[in-house]
Amino acid sequence: MKKKKIVYLLAAYVLLPGVFNSCSKDDNGEGGDDDKPAVVEKKDGVFILNRGNYNENNASLAYYNLADKTMTPDVYRSVNGHGLGDSAEQILIYGSKMYVTVTSSNRIAILDETGLLIKSIEPKDGTGAPMNPRRMAANDGKVYVGYYYGHSVAALDTASLEVTATVAVGRYPEGLAVSGNKLYVANSGGLDYPDYGHTVSVVNLNSFTVEKEIEVALNPTRLAVGDNWEEVYLISMGNYGDVGNTLQHIDRSTGQVTQMGGGSIFTVSGLHLYVIHAQWGSTDITYRKYSIGTGTAVLLPEPFITDGTVIGSPSAIGVDPLDGKIYITDWAYGSTSTLYVFSPEGKLETKVETEGYDSGAIAFYHR
């Protein structure tokens, strides 16, 4: 693999869906501090997106430099001179740009590789109501963005940075993933408690229309695909009561859904699926690793954290595709997040404070 300006996104997910409110103009990127923006040179490293505390407009984008093991707590603010906004949900690195959804601020922030803001998109429906972008996936020059309040998905052209099409999907879409020429959309129904959703919409990317709906476990939220694009994995969060979190496999050809056990957050790296299961209301946390790539996921006998390290509230996970190191954030309400770095064998190497609240996504940057 050539190591020249290659960027990788590894899915990283929080345990609970957020609740959305508007943010102030100052922190949604339209106004800002009088501080002079600083140029931050990027080396190989890890971006950690911090959602921020509820309704406090303190989302941030931290950067961990792999060369000198230093953390820049809020690279977005240091480069742009203003805050990211309220409830940042996902970071996606695609081509030479970074895309960040800031849900409660109704904002898609498009950044260059240093974190400098190129463009801010604030999607609204025909009545002028905010659509609240949440999750993303990318393929063939497009970034697909789920509109949580808009109950739809938009196609964003990465050359023009304009939305070229939208398609209606199910209620309150969460995770998105592309497999082949199909976009899978998890319809959580999240704000219709207790009437959560139980479908995944399959969008044909050639026609950009919904081809079918697949019945899945209650409250689907997270999607990931294997590196061979043939395998689709899903986590449903249940009802935070008698219906638990469920990890599922969706057969791309038949649409058949197979339940694989519990799961709360996960990521795919190479031929492995890493799953953390922390059932709502339980202190028992498991770290399971599956071998994938053959159409069938095989549970490996050993957990992927092997040294007994205790992580109280794992909120995001990523695996560096170059060296296989495992990155997990730990966040407890009211406290800043901690980044744990493990060897590929699951031994703790270091931990460092992100200085941000509620870390929800991890993305790897390699020059």
What is the structure's pLDDT at 322? 95
Domain residue spans of the chain: 6-28+39-366
Average pLDDT on 192-216 reads 97
Q: Which amino acid belongs to residue 304?
A: F
Tell me how far apart the alpha carbons of residues 46 and 116 are, in angstroms, rounded to a whole number.
16
Model confidence at 353: pLDDT above 90: yes
Distance in Å from the first CA to the final CA of the chain: 12
- b vs e for 323-340, b when ≥16 Cβ sit within 10 Å of the residue's Cβ? eebbbbbbbeeeebbbbb
- 307-349 pLDDT, tens digit per residue, is 999 999 999 999 999 999 999 999 988 899 999 999 999 999 9
Bridge partner list, 349: none
pTM value? Answer: 0.89
Output the CATH code of domain 6-28+39-366: 2.130.10.10
